Amino acid sequence: MRNLRLALSKKEKAEQLLEKLDELKASNEVDDDAYEAKHEQYERLAKEGETELEGIRTTLSTKLEALERDLEKYPQELKDLELKSKLGEIDSATFMRQDQRLRGRIKKLEEDVEATKRYLAAETAEDAGGFIEISLDGKSPTARLSDLFRRKR
């Protein structure tokens, strides 16, 4: 889930930069004006990441609830299918086909539930699939590549 990785990466990058900036400030390697400007920029980045995370987690929670609701209906469908087979309403080939289809849906839903739970529990970009390098110049990686190619002409 790229947007989750990106939001977590923003937050982590901002926290790392703020920590490094504070270290530089403590050792008097950065003046007050530069410190304030960078501190504000990194705080904005961290807040942006947090805001994105809140939205993503809300969406994931809603998705998880829907998946779990969907999953709850399948055991009854399997019982109904088995009853139809026992009563002779459907032949064994039809039963097998529909049973496999339902079990496939259940398996897929269970996998989606587990993945969604993993994403909801992710505290770091690594937990969500890996850190994504964040640009502080406001340009996307694609835009930076385009600029690089334009300069080489």
What are the tens digits of pLDDT across the range 80-98?
999 999 999 999 999 999 9
What CA–CA distance (Å, rounded) separates 110 from 98?
A: 18
The reported pLDDT for the residue numbered 61 is 97
Average pLDDT over residues 4-27: 95
Q: What is the pLDDT of residue 116?
A: 97
Over the stretch 34-77, which tens digit does the pLDDT of each residue have?
A: 999 999 999 999 999 999 999 999 999 999 999 999 999 999 99
Answer whether 2's CB lies under 8 Å from 56's CB: no
- Residue ranges of alpha helices (H) inside 27-140 are 32-87, 92-121
- Tell me the average pLDDT across 14-34: 95
The whole-number pLDDT of residue 1 equals: 85
Residue 135, pLDDT score: 84
**pLDDT value at position 139?**
53
How much is the pTM? 0.76
Query: Tens of pLDDT along 96-112?
Result: 999 999 999 999 999 99
pLDDT of residue 144: 46
Q: With bands split at pLDDT 50, 70 and 90, how would you rate the model's confidence at 147?
A: low
Structure tokens at 56: 């993503």
- Name all contacts of 38-44 with Cβ < 8 Å and 24+ positions apart: 41/136, 42/14, 42/17, 42/18, 43/14, 43/18
The number of folded domains in the chain is 1
- Which residue range forms the structural domain that includes residue 142? 2-152
Per-residue confidence (pLDDT) for residue 136, from 0 to 100: 81
